[in-house]
Amino acid sequence: MSAPASPTSSTTKARYIMIGGFLGAGKTTAIGKLARTLTDQGLKVGLITNDQAGGLVDTKLLRTQGFATEEIAGGCFCCRFNTLVDAAAKLNDATKPDVFIAEPVGSCTDLVATVTYPLRRMYGEAYSIAPLSVLVDPVRARRVLGLDAGGNFSSKVTYIYKKQLEEADIIVVNKRDLLTPEQLAELTEALQKAFPQAKIVDASAREEDGLTGWFGSLSSEAQPGNRAAMELDYEVYADGEALLGWLNATVTLVAEDEFDANGYLRCLAGSIQEKLAVQQAEVAHLKMTYSPDDGIGGEIASVNLVRNDNVAETGMTLDEPSTGGQLILNLRAETDPEALLKAVKESLVIAGEIYPGLKSTLDHEEHFRPGKPEPTYRDGEAPN
């Protein structure tokens, strides 16, 4: 595979920004805000989303906001490196972005050795690489670091979570509004002690608070060039990923009369949450979007759930009732994938009883455990 031409001109490199973080950390919201900020500065932006399977809520949300977006399915960036480069080339052919923003799978780690170092080595003439940012949900982070009690993942899943932080150049405590100033200070101190290589910043992407400094670093700073790749036990990594059940589904909704799609999504999310809680299956992330057939201007409704003891949050809302459309559902939890499918199917029935006259048809679904990561490349050192 030949190196792509420079995305902007023969003398200007495109910026490559990768924003990682565990499932539910708020990556898609942050990426949308960053893309909008860069666009408002007059830059062209191309986005690349990534998942173990196709049909991503993230892709739908970002495209709805008007951004050119390519989706890579079937494995993490580390295992689909050539496809990642091809996706960037496709965006380059279409819109010639000045900046590429990549969102890796939320259960993926080892991104420096398997993505950014190979990218710098093979395509350094085309891209300048920004520091790797890793976002954390502050409530989840406090539990993982032992600052608070509460629902959590098993040790091998937590291994992946901590490895993501270990390789970060910048750790972003997102959703800082969920903590008191004292809790935020305590979490920042614990993160800095555990991961001294990283710069710790805090922000709220949804509230557009505290983003300026972080976005400035992503636009102007370079990825450190003197760090060796972190040590990673790929057997533990594979075991941890395999503990996570994965489900992507699309559902067609048809109503006899108008219905409140915003309320329906909250109802469906609540039912799924209750059924998984009974099994003590720790939810990593549940995301849903609903696109009405009669919507204009890319209007959608969305909800988001990131923990068992959290309440599903409304993201985007529809101003008018709907008579039908398409629901995209992404669910990740530490449990058997069959349990996820069962919970979704039963919840569709329950939601249909609460919203009589509304028919749901499960058009497509994939439920599975992620396979063992097998990187295309793994560079132990930063290129010269």
Q: What is the CA radius of gyration of the chain?
A: 20
Pick from 100, 111, 104, 88: nearest CA to 5: 88
pLDDT reported for residue 9: 37
**Among all chains, which residue has been given the structure tokens 């910043």?**
201
Give the 3-state secondary structure of the chain. Answer: CCCCCCCCCCCCCEEEEEEEECCCCCHHHHHHHHHHHHHHCCCCEEEEEECCCCCCHHHHHHHHCCCEEEEECCCCHHHCHHHHHHHHHHHHHHHCCCEEEEECCCCCCCHHHHHHHHHHHHHCCCEEECCCEEEECHHHHHHHCCCCCCCCCCHHHHHHHHHHHHCCCEEEECCHHHCCHHHHHHHHHHHHHHCCCCEEEECECCCCECCHHHHHHHHHCCCCCCCCCCCCCHHHHHHHHHCCEEEEEEEEEEEEEEECHHHHHHHHHHHHHHHHHHCCCEEEEEEEEEEECCCCCCCCEEEEECCCCCCCEECCCCCCCEEEEEEEEEEEEECCHHHHHHHHHHHHHHHHHHCCCEEEEEEEEEEECCCCCCCCCCCCCCCC
Instruction: Give the Cα separation of 191 and 185 in Å (integer).
Output: 10
Specify whether the CB–CB gap between 99 and 17 falls below 8 A: yes
Q: Would you say the C-alpha torsion 36, 37, 43, 48 has a positive or negative sign?
A: negative
As to burial, measured by CB atoms within 10 angstroms (0-12 exposed, 13-18 middle, 19+ buried), residue 352 is middle
Spell out a b/e string for 277-303, using b for 16 or more CB atoms within 10 Å of the CB, else e: eeeebbbbbbbbbbbbeebeeebbbbb
Whole-angstrom CA distances from 325 to 119, 253, 340 are 40, 5, 23
pLDDT reported for residue 143: 98
pTM of the model: 0.94
pLDDT reported for residue 24: 96
Paired residues of 246 in beta bridges: 332, 368
Non-local (6+) Cβ contacts of 93 within 8 A are none
Encode the chain (384 residues) as per-residue pLDDT tens digits: 333 333 333 348 999 999 999 999 999 999 999 999 999 999 999 999 998 877 788 888 998 899 999 999 989 999 999 999 999 999 999 999 999 999 999 999 999 999 999 999 999 999 999 999 999 999 999 999 999 999 999 999 999 999 999 999 999 999 999 999 999 999 999 999 999 999 999 999 999 999 999 999 999 999 998 889 999 999 999 999 999 999 999 999 999 999 999 999 999 999 999 999 999 999 999 999 999 998 776 799 999 999 999 999 999 999 999 999 999 999 999 999 999 999 999 999 999 999 999 999 999 999 999 999 999 999 999 997
pLDDT reported for residue 70: 94
Between helix 155-166 and helix 181-194 the angle, nearest 10°, is 80
Looking at residue 150, its amino acid is: G
